[in-house]
Structure 1
Amino acid sequence: MSATYFKPRDRFDFAKDTLDIGNPIQWDKSHFLKHFFKRVFAIPEDCIAKFYQRHLAYYLSHHTDGTEEIFFKYFWSLIERQLKVLLGKDVYDKNHLKNEREIARLQKFMTMLISLDRWNIHKSNDAVIAQQESEIIALKQEVTQLKADLKKANSLETEGYINIPEGYRSAVLHLHLQMQELKTPEGKELMFSQTQSVWMKMICKYFREGDKEINYETIRRYFPSDKREPGDKHADIPAKSKLFTINLAKKRS
């Protein structure tokens, strides 16, 4: 494994933001790969392209017969091979979280390299397979997360509902509208939502009138998005349905 493709770190260069390979004092060139990937995983994400260009410039300046294609192939092979190694590790590996971070970083490098690939090197079978494997793993992880989210959401679901006697739907709507106006003793809104749709969806999902579903569009006219300018389609709750009034309770001694 040749380390001559990449710029070694200058002796006594203790800069934390260096893009060069190796230690500032002394390091064994036979451990090049370890130092190479240590830098790959350490540099900021916005320096990935700069990292490539810095070492490309070094390679071309030290190899009179070198070309960017040769450097690109070598760089690509290092990233591709390490990505395969990480993708092959068990998800129950004790370093799983670290592996996932490193996989994500190598995928960023591959994306950058593909954008520079004028020779279609990334379209080789091995590269395509590695990319597909990476995408499959990402999809599996997404599916696992979605299943967990669905299970959590379903835990709050119920087959039951709150039934309203036939003809008293508007009375219940009036109660919900009153609740929106309630304030705490400190003057803060007791219940706040960004949109009126939250209230309407809650009513349609958890309430029934005479065991029948409540139509979203039917109750929409009672919940204007802008209460100051409700618009022509707005309708007020009929006076005969305003059966209950919610008031602040008297303080108990």
Structure 2
Amino acid sequence: MPIQTNYFKFRKPFDFSAHQYDIGRAFFSNRRLEDNFFLLKVYKIYETEYNQFYDYQLYSYLKANPGKEEGFFNHVHDIVTSRIRHFKRLDPFSAKYASGLEQTRKLEAFLEFLKTIDRWHKVEPLESVIGEKDKLIAQLKQRIAELEAQLSFLNRPGANVINIRYML
């Protein structure tokens, strides 16, 4: 029985016209290394394509796992942050360090993209989320006060009375 991918959509074996956002190789992709193939695709695409790539892989995942968008996001966030940590731990005098810098830059840009779509506040610390919500509450309270002032002005006696008579 073939191993099924858990999170990402692989290209079919020997498919030379696969979708641009499918991961894996045309010959014998080891599906147990799906996280690595996902990250290889992130290294290859432009930053402007991150949204389309993420949505393509998310849509494929949600077809098999409806309602588990947060789990997909958490998995992608975890593999990106763990790979960034891996590259930052490399010895600066090793041969892999130079290529690791470029890959780290791409992953950090992808992580910035993930911050823009984070609805579950996994990326930001709780304090900043609370501060943002407090700021939003203050803005909404101010808007409510403005609207109540406008309403009281319009409801004062004799203000802007519209008298419509129907002709029968």
For this structure pair, what is the TM-score category when the shorter chain's length is used for normalisation?
0.5 to 0.7
Match of 1:12 in 2: 14
Distance 1:103 1:5 in 2: 22
Question: How many residues end up aligned between the 2 structures?
Answer: 123
Change (3 A) 1:40 1:60: same
Unaligned runs of 5+ in 2: 127-168
Match of 2:28 in 1: 26
| Preserved CA contact (<8 Å) 2:11 2:25 | yes
Deviation at 1:21, TM superposition (A): 1.4
1:41-64 deviation per Cα after TM superposition (whole angstroms, max 9, x unaligned)? 112222111111101101111113
| Preserved CA contact (<8 Å) 1:48 1:109 | yes
- TM-score (norm. length: structure 2): 0.66
The structure in which a higher percent of residues are helix is 2
Match of 2:135 in 1: none
Change (3 A) 1:46 1:15: farther
Which amino acid in 1 is paired with 2:78?
Answer: S
Residues 134-145 of structure 1 aligned to structure 2 (within 5 Å): none
Change (3 A) 1:96 1:15: farther
Unaligned runs of 5+ in 1: 126-253
Match of 1:63 in 2: 65
Deviation at 1:82, TM superposition (A): 0.5
Residues 110-125 of structure 1 aligned to structure 2 (within 5 Å): 110-123=111-124
For residue 123 of structure 1, give the secondary structure of its aligned residue in structure 2. coil
Match of 1:42 in 2: 44
Deviation at 1:30, TM superposition (A): 2.1
Match of 1:103 in 2: 104
Residues 1-253 of structure 1 aligned to structure 2 (within 5 Å): 3-15=5-17, 18-64=20-66, 66-123=67-124
Distance 2:75 2:40 in 1: 17
- TM-score (norm. length: structure 1): 0.45
| Preserved CA contact (<8 Å) 2:12 2:18 | no
For residue 114 of structure 1, give the secondary structure of its aligned residue in structure 2. helix
Distance 1:89 1:17 in 2: 34
| Preserved CA contact (<8 Å) 1:13 1:24 | yes
Distance 1:17 1:93 in 2: 36
Distance 2:61 2:19 in 1: 21
1:159-179 deviation per Cα after TM superposition (whole angstroms, max 9, x unaligned)? xxxxxxxxxxxxxxxxxxxxx
- RMSD of aligned C-alpha atoms? 2.1
Runs (4 or more) in structure 1 with deviation over 4 Å come to none
| Preserved CA contact (<8 Å) 1:9 1:23 | yes
